[in-house]
Structure 1
Amino acid sequence: MPAGTAPKRPLYTQEERQRRDASGWTLVQGLLAPFQFLVFAISLVLILRFLLTGEGLVAAQVSVVVKTLTLYAIMITGSIWEKHVFGRYLFAPAFFWEDVFSILVLALHTAYLAALYTGSLGAFELMLLALAAYATYLINAGQFLWKLRLARLDQTERQLTSAAPLTALGAEHAG
């Protein structure tokens, strides 16, 4: 390690990894995330259909409401998961920026619900707001996928590091 370089903090400590693996909320998140993406994809098609043809406004509106409720579910259960794993509901250091961006995603989805309820935006503007919310959702989903990849790489690195001394020890005794 170069001089002046701090050691890289793993995404999860050993204790956090054990809590993550033991938590039922990990499975809930693993099931809700792809379900939410499916709801998003269907809704996006309905929104684009409306914007391109002018048809299917109610279906597009209902789909955004369903997507928003799914987002609320994953955010609530994700906060519970974060509490189980890291001891805090939001803004654990390992997921700080993902949580910050999640708040923006929630705000835009909630603004959509408020505008739909109050009628403060026209149909076209409402769908543009939904698209803005969906763009932030995609960025946020990308953040979490990146963290999932980092967690897997970290786990692989730990396994290789812990196996290396055993391999060396085995080689010494084999000769």
Structure 2
Amino acid sequence: MARGSWKSPTEYRLYTEEQRQRRDSSVWTLVQGILAPLQFVVCILSAILVVRFLMTGAGYEAATLSVLVKTGFLFLIMITGAIWEKEVFGQYLFAPAFFWEDVVSFGVIALHTAYVWGLITGAIGPAALMWLALVAYAAYVVNAAQFLWKLRLARLSAASATVTGPEVSA
């Protein structure tokens, strides 16, 4: 079965055995495992501050700082994720197993970067910046869901391989 293809979740093969070993031995796997939930918590807190500003007009500075912190986490996880992808799959981005996740990640990065650009240049007003942040967060949630789905498929695949034995590749 080709990597990245499946008939059912338990038949899905995200990693070859060598890639799985590289994944499991990489320090970047741990880094991603720490950064991903931290970024999610920062996103939730920031979204609360952004919505508070949009509803009340209060707390613009706190909301802005929170979006910048969220953006910092995004760039950090993207850089470390690219290093992880290189160690596991042999290329920094767009490895077949994570191609669409990387594509959507670039959209998320573009939205966050547009926010920073709008803030620095003053080209986008405060309310529009906050709406842009919420759009960026919505895209981030879609991207996070992509990665969680892949993680679930990989775990189901690993459980299936344990029960049925290793996959024989041609």
- TM-score normalized with structure 1 length: 0.88
Q: Which amino acid aligns with 2:124?
A: L
Ranked by relative contact order (alpha carbons within 8 Å, sequence separation 6 or more), the top structure is 2
Q: Which amino acid aligns with 1:76?
A: I
Task: Tell me the C-alpha RMSD between the 2 structures.
Answer: 1.4
Q: Which amino acid aligns with 2:68?
A: V
CA distance in 2, matches of 1:41, 1:18: 33
Provide the identity percentage: 61
Which residue in the other structure is 1:79 paired with? 82
Q: Work out the number of aligned pairs and report it.
A: 158
Q: Which segments of 5 or more consecutive residues in structure 1 lack a partner in the other structure?
A: 1-5, 164-175
Which of 32, 35, 51 is equivalent to 2:35? 32
1:67-106 counterparts in 2 under 5 A? 67-106=70-109
- Residues 112-133 of structure 1: CA distance to partner in whole angstroms, max 9, x if unpaired? 0000000001111000110110
Structure possessing the higher radius of gyration over alpha carbons: 1
Contact 2:22 2:88 in 1 (8 A): yes
CA distance in 2, matches of 1:149, 1:68: 26
- Residues 73-100 of structure 1: CA distance to partner in whole angstroms, max 9, x if unpaired? 0000000000000000000000000000
- TM-score normalized with structure 2 length: 0.90
Q: Which amino acid aligns with 2:165?
A: S
- Residues 47-93 of structure 1: CA distance to partner in whole angstroms, max 9, x if unpaired? 00000111000100110000000000000000000000000000000
Does residue 129 (structure 1) correspond to residue 135 (structure 2)? The answer is no
Contact 2:12 2:153 in 1 (8 A): no
Does residue 61 (structure 1) correspond to residue 64 (structure 2)? The answer is yes
| CA apart distance, 1:9 | 6.0
Q: Which segments of 5 or more consecutive residues in structure 2 lack a partner in the other structure?
A: 1-5
CA distance in 1, matches of 2:76, 2:151: 20
